[in-house]
């Protein structure tokens, strides 16, 4: 694939903009030897194999990714929306190329896999792979999501038992059950769900006569939120990470 097309596919702007970056010497390409410094390439039509390609644009290193899979540690006070109403968007935490990756659909760039409320923190996946979004979001696939819940009132065994047995939410007569539930401390609950209804954790806790004061998603599938990933930071997901996160 031509270098100009590669940059375009990775969200660095229109084909003309990408050609300009290359011709002005702002793009360097790594050779197969990973220890070697990247070389400036000023030929927009130069051909490169995409698989395993690494390049540098205006001083920032990038891997070629046919599809982008990201993990973000969502901070409090942010909205999972391209057009937030009150709080800053999570998408402002990402570099421009990830937000501008071309899509066949009207919306460009990576999209959140499900949403977290503005006051909920923790693990959030983003991708431009629509099939992955569907697979991770569909309740039919039963991907477990683990939440660390801080509650207002002291927990008791009855509340844990009710959450495991199932509680009825106001918009659905069918009981909603936690896949796992553990009182970690008097005011801390670890709750595992395999579906994602609107405000589900808060409504389930309210159904057992308690109230959520803090909510943090710590795990999806078999992948835990890395302890060294600070709120607001993101990283690429590896193939091993994707295998873990898809594990039921």
- Domain chopping of the chain, boundaries: 3-63, 69-139+223-245, 144-220
Find the mean pLDDT for residues 49-58.
94
Residue range 47-73: mean pLDDT, rounded? 95
164: enclosing H helix or E strand:
helix 157-165
212-220 and 223-224 as β-strands: parallel, antiparallel, unpaired?
antiparallel
Residues 205-233 as b/e (b if ≥16 CB within 10 A, e otherwise) read bebbebebeebbbebbbebebeeeeeeee
Q: What's the mean pLDDT in 203-220?
A: 96
pLDDT exceeds 70 at position 33: no
pLDDT of residue 104: 78
Tell whether pTM > 0.85.
yes
Active-site residue set: 117
User: Which residue's entry shows tokens 């918009």?
Assistant: 171
Q: Report the topology of domain 69-139+223-245.
A: Alpha-Beta Plaits (3.30.70)
Section 197-202 average pLDDT: 90
Per-residue pLDDT at 31 exceeds 90: no
| pLDDT > 90? residue 195 | no
Q: Are 18 and 7 in contact (CB under 8 A)?
A: yes
| Arch. (CATH architecture) of 3-63 | Roll (3.10)
Count of beta carbons in the 10 Å neighbourhood of residue 177: 17
Asked whether the predicted pLDDT for residue 246 surpasses 90, the reply is no
State the average pLDDT for the chain: 93
Confidence of residue 36 (pLDDT cuts 50, 70, 90): confident
Please state, as a whole number, how many other Cβ atoms lie within 10 Å of the Cβ of residue 97.
18
Asked whether the domain spanning 144-220 has the same topology as the one spanning 69-139+223-245, the reply is yes
Mean pLDDT for 135-143 is: 79
The model's confidence at residue 224, banded by pLDDT at 50, 70 and 90, is: very high
* The architecture CATH gives domain 144-220: 2-Layer Sandwich (3.30)
């Amino acid at each position: 694939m031509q270098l100009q097309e590669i940059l375009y596919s990775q969200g660095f702007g229109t084909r003309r903009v990408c050609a300009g970056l290359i011709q002005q010497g702002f793009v360097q390409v790594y050779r197969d030897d990973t220890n070697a410094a990247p070389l400036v390439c000023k030929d927009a039509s130069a051909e490169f194999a995409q698989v395993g390609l690494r390049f540098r644009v205006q001083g920032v290193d990038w891997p070629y990714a046919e599809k982008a899979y990201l993990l973000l540690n969502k901070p409090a006070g942010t909205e999972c929306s391209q057009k937030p109403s009150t709080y800053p968007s999570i998408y402002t935490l990402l570099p421009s190329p990830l937000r501008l990756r071309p899509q066949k659909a009207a919306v460009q760039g990576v999209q959140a896999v499900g949403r977290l409320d503005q006051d909920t923190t923790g693990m959030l996946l983003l991708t431009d792979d629509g099939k992955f979004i569907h697979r991770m979001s569909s309740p039919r696939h039963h991907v477990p999501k683990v939440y660390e819940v801080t509650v207002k009132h002291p927990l008791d065994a009855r509340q844990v038992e009710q959450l495991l047995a199932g509680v009825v939410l106001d918009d659905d007569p069918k009981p909603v059950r936690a896949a796992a539930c553990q009182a970690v401390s008097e005011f801390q609950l670890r709750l595992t769900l395999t579906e994602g209804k609107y405000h589900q954790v808060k409504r389930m806790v309210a159904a057992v006569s308690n109230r959520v004061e803090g909510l943090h998603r710590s795990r999806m599938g078999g992948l835990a939120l890395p302890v060294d990933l600070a709120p607001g930071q993101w990283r690429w997901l590896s193939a091993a990470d994707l295998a873990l996160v898809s594990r039921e």
